[in-house]
Structure 1
Amino acid sequence: MQEAKKLSMPLTNEEKTTVYPILFVIGFVHLLNDALQSVVPAMFPILQGSMGLTFTQIGLIGFALNFTSSLMQPLVGMYTDKRPSPYALPIGLCFSFIGIVGIALANSYWLIIVSVLLIGIGSATFHPEGSRVAYMAAGNKRGLAQSIYQVGGNSGQALAPLIAAIILIPFGQRGALSFTVVAGLAIILLLYIAKWYSNEIKNVRTVSIKKKSHSNNTETNKKHKKIIVFSICLLIFLVFARSWFHAGITSFYAFYIINEYGLTITEAQIYIFIFLATGAVGTFFGGPLADRYGKRNIILLSMLGSAPLALLLPFVGPFTAYILIGIIGFIILSSFSVTVVYAQELVPGKIGTVSGLIVGLAFGMGAVGSVALGWLADLIGLTNTIIFAACLPFIGLLTFFLPSDEKVKEIHH
């Protein structure tokens, strides 16, 4: 068990240089993985037309994807913290490969569900271990490393509208087969990553023997356990609030501006693409800024900096909304990678678990929040729901209750 604990902390980052080739490869594979995942929601209109699915059936497909891809991540992370599994990365993407083939050829609703579950399992396997690889390759630039990794995922998600417009709408359900090339490329690159990962595990066995005191400081762990548990729970809640706002924009803002500005569906999708694209840019810059100015400060700024702009968004004209939604996307997602690094430093021995909690559970709960927003829209109207969603970033005030970066370092030294 002690050996497993040591392996869950693969590197002493301060003693290693940043391995940029590994970071860029894992970031690119993150883009490929999330692009594969984006095929599912992009196919909803296609499946509805070809199979006559109800909105409830479509909702269940989305739930199946989110349940496996997001909510299972902490479980995968807990397992791999005890038993680091380099080759789980390419094996997981093999599940996604099979799922893509299944969804392209499915002739029944339940085959679609099974295919989506396989894609979700592949994604749930990839994310905690991918985040661990970014941690291992980070050196002393954890914020930058996590940004490179996470911006790949955000970019992959932003491709969903383009995937629908360029491939799925012209070629229909069978068009998803073209993404087997994407899955195949991801598997090949992950075999390269897995080989490097395996070598790092061998190296850390030597390092861990020299640094036994790092994992045996039980008195310090007991003393600060309450602070760590409280901070992780608060961080999950903050990420949930951010994800709930994110889901509100991506799921319902298009309907709002269609009604308010008289736009077409295609024109409304441009706003969503701008939000996602600038969010990806914000994700990249957030990490280096956190390395310089502090992680808690960037988390606070991303929530409270976007809050007044978000509240203004429902009341501006269509041209101003272009600019505003781009700025909001950049600011609020600047903390996307930072929250992961902050959690990893709070619990340095559980890299996979905390990554699964922050990226998987907390972000995945945003999908559950979108269901609540849909219910709220039916109850109080779309305009009031958008205004409610715009108030969610103000929850960032709770960031003041998180320990400072200096306090986190003090806890573990």
Structure 2
Amino acid sequence: MRTTRLRRRTAAFSAGHSCVDVYQGAVAALVPFLVAERAYGYAAASGIVLAASLLSSVVQPLFGMLTDRHPMPWLIPLATAAAGTGIALVGLDAGYAATVAAVALSGLGVAAYHPAAARMVRATAGGGGHTAMSWFALGGNVGFACAPLLVAGALAVPGPAGWWLLALPAALGVLLSRPPARTGAAAARADGPQVAPPGAPEENRPAFLRLSLIVIVRSVVFTGLSTFVALYAGERGGGEAAGAVALFALFAGSAGGTLLGGRLAGRWGRTTTVRRAYAAAVPAVAGILFLPLPLVYLCAALAAVALYVPFSLQVTLGQDYLPTRIGTASGVTLGLTVSVGGLASPLIGAVADAASLRTALLPLAVLPLLAWALSRRLPEPAAQPAPRTAAAAKPAA
């Protein structure tokens, strides 16, 4: 019975994550419309995307710290509503500043959602929660990938109704994020500030710092590939069709890797899985750059698998390294390091302009080796009892 309830809650969290992350992808999908219909220049359009991505990424650790001190289950539906409402308000066309403000509201909702939701997933799953976190991460991947379809379908409807259709995933996400009736330990873990249970390991800040460096490296590699792999495949002689296939292979591989990570961790342990995944990423990324075009698609899929196997595992590792600050750990591993990858992409583009795209992408084949080296000294946290709340930690009167 408990397993059935856990699966239902995990499915609800995964679907809710899809409903939120669809708005991360929607911002980029709206750029062609904004350029064509509102005569925004490329710099203005880039400013909108940058505002959304930086806000949704950089502010996440702050929300993580907030939820650690004052757990707020109601923040999940509120953040979901803000993410959808912000994108829908773009349709008002009240000027560039208003558009940026609407997109910023959406980014703020995305930022508030992730630490609170990841904390809730971990508390609901109990124990390691690796498989539950894998499904949660997969939901985000699916939502991001579906964003272009949502935007194209909604904006095909004339008038304001099309824009308000963009808010439908948020409405569904709010329904899915209603907290279930919980009692006892499950309610305490989810709704109260955490304190370390007796015998639990203390915070391991050096390990968390090392893990953060690893996630930064991974972010640079995957963001660089997702930004430029379509252009690179097109330059190899396949044109736009080859670029589309390469990008599809990359996104499909990321979904498969997300699910595979939880299964492999159950067999090998998290740190061993992370280490082996980054080792496998080195030849896969190199294959994209040096093998002939048909094999580029296969290597793109394999590289994405290798880079996404560690994704959800790194979230739970961070939570175990900071066992009384799960929200903060979630905010850092899910949010702050994403922005680093985005900031590195312009540097890759500058090198590509000065030399060649292959030259600019060469460091991406070496960086997973750095992640592998860093991961060799990651400790595997011991199985921990679920954190108690501050109220539960007090002796009974």
TM-score (norm 2): 0.88
Counterpart of 1:13 in structure 2 is: none
Q: Distance in 1 between matches of 2:337 and 2:103?
A: 21
Give the deviation of 1:404 after TM superposition: 3.2
Q: Are 2:364 and 1:377 aligned?
A: no
Q: How far apart, in 2, do the equivalents of 1:325 and 1:212 lie?
A: 43
Q: What are the superposed Cα offsets for residues 364-399 of structure 1, whole Å, 9 maximum, x if unpaired?
A: 321112222223323332121122222221112211
Is the contact made by 1:89 and 1:126 (CA closer than 8 Å) also made in structure 2?
yes
Q: 1:164-313 alignment to 2 at 5 Å? A: 166-167=152-153, 170=156, 175-190=162-177, 192=178, 194-196=179-181, 203-204=187-188, 214=197, 221=202, 228-264=204-240, 267-313=242-288
Shift of 1:318: 2.2
1:247 is matched by which residue type in structure 2? T
Measure the CA separation in 2 of the matches of 1:231 and 1:300.
Answer: 14
Contact kept in structure 2, 1:295 and 1:405, CA below 8 Å: no
**Matching of residue 126 in structure 1 with residue 109 in structure 2:** no
1:148 is the counterpart of 2:131: no
Q: Distance in 2 between matches of 1:333 and 1:260?
A: 26
Name which of 344, 353, 363 aligns with 2:319. 344
In structure 2, C-alpha distance between the alignment counterparts of 1:74 and 1:333, rounded to whole Å: 21
Contact 2:274 2:310 in 1 (8 A): yes
1:106 to 83, 93, 97: 93
**Cα separation, 1, equivalents of 2:261 and 2:106:** 29
Consecutive aligned runs of 4 or more in structure 1 exceeding 3 Å deviation: 160-164, 168-177, 199-203
By how many angstroms is 1:177 displaced? 3.2
Could you tell me whether the CA contact under 8 Å between 1:46 and 1:172 is conserved in 2? no
Asked if structure 1 preserves the Cα contact closer than 8 Å seen for 2:253 and 2:304, the reply is: yes
- Contact persistence 2:289–2:362 (CA under 8 A): yes
Residue type of the partner of 2:295?
A: T
> Do 1:48 and 1:54's aligned partners in 2 also have CA atoms closer than 8 Å?
yes
Q: For 1:104 and 1:162, locate their aligned partners in 2 and report how far apart those are by CA, in whole Å.
A: 17
Unaligned runs of 5+ in 1: 1-15
1:284-316 superposed Cα distances (whole Å, 9 cap, x missing partner): 120122133111111111211111111121122
Summarize deviations over 1:338-373 as a string: whole Å, max 9, x none: 000111111111111000000111123211122222
Structure 1 position 142, deviation (Å): 1.2
Paired with 1:272 and 1:381, the residues of 2 have a C-alpha distance of 20
Contact conserved, 1:47 with 1:173, CA < 8 A, in 2?
Answer: no
- State the distance in 1 between where 2:25 and 2:6 align: 29
Distance in 1 (CA, whole Å) between partners of 2:294 and 2:158 is: 33
Conserved 8 A contact 2:287-2:296 = no
Match of 1:84 in 2: 71
Match of 2:50 in 1: 63
State the one-letter code of the partner of 1:214: P
CA gap 1:272/1:258 in 2 versus in 1, 3 angstroms:
same
Higher helix share: 1
The one-letter amino acid of 1:329's match is A
CA 1:400–1:258: 2 relative to 1, 3 Å = same
The alpha carbon displacement at 1:327 in A equals 1.5
CA distance in 2, matches of 1:403, 1:348: 14
- Which amino acid is 1:281 matched to? G
CA distance in 2 between counterparts of 1:114 and 1:37 reads: 15
CA contact (8 A) 2:233 2:246 kept: no
Aligned residues, how many?
A: 382
Shift of the alpha carbon at 1:107? 4.2
TM-score (structure 1 length as normaliser): 0.84
C-alpha distance in 1 between matches for 2:148 and 2:35: 17
Structure 1 residue 393 corresponds to structure 2 residue 347: no
Cα 1:402/1:177, change in 2 over 3 Å: same
Task: Give the AA of the match of 1:43.
Answer: L
Shift of 1:216: 9.1
In structure 2, do the counterparts of structure 1 residues 160 and 321 end up closer, same or farther at CA, with 3 Å as the change threshold? farther
Q: Distance in 2 between matches of 1:76 and 1:61?
A: 22
Q: Residues of 1 paired with 2:165 and 2:29: CA distance?
A: 14
Question: Quick one: percent identity of the two aligned structures?
Answer: 26
Match of 1:48 in 2: 35
Q: Is the 8 A contact 1:46 1:169 kept in 2?
A: no
Q: Deviation of residue 270 (structure 1)?
A: 2.7
